[in-house]
Amino acid sequence: MRAAIAKAMESQNAGDYGIGAVVVKDGEILVAGTNRAKMEEDSTQHAETAVIREAFKKSGSRFLPSCVLYTTHEPCPMCAAAAVWACMDEIVFDSTLQDMIDHRKKNGNTEWTWRTIDIPATAVLAQGEPKLDQECALRDLCNGPAKSCEAFGIAEKRKTHSPIRSVRHI
């Protein structure tokens, strides 16, 4: 996660959004990268999709089994889906979607707007096929009856075949 945070700071210093991501395979960093949406004038160049694309190139495969995606922010629906399609084992993130919503409310302004899709990564992953085996360890999502994993159709420690074993908030 430290490498992802360092990349987030690098991204922010370069004038892009302060988001960083790392793909780890067998405990070693395979690739690390920054958000590049502003730098490349491409709104799909989120840090997560950028490192997944780089990991495909580096590994010579369109699948990333035994790989973990570390990211400084909870992945958006596009990035969560990319991790599923890449057959990654796990997603680990720091700031939650709720953290980002709260930040947006506190720091938004009239000159520009935040473009977001307020769907938690776990909700996206729960709709994937095959169904995902997820560890329900997210700080805000799994607390209380209205925010329980069951509300999103996620069973803890589901024992179905799945490329992503867990989603963890740290």
Using the CB atoms, write b or e for 64-92: b if 16+ within 10 Å: beebbbbbbbbbbbebbbbbbebbbbbbb
Count CB-CB contacts under 10 A for residue 144: 9
CA angle 108, 41, 119 (to 5 degrees): 50
**CA 64/CA 3 separation, integer angstroms:** 19
Angstrom distance (rounded) from CA 54 to CA 21: 11
- Packed helices 2-13 and 47-59: angle between N→C axes, nearest 10 degrees: 120
Active-site residue list: 48
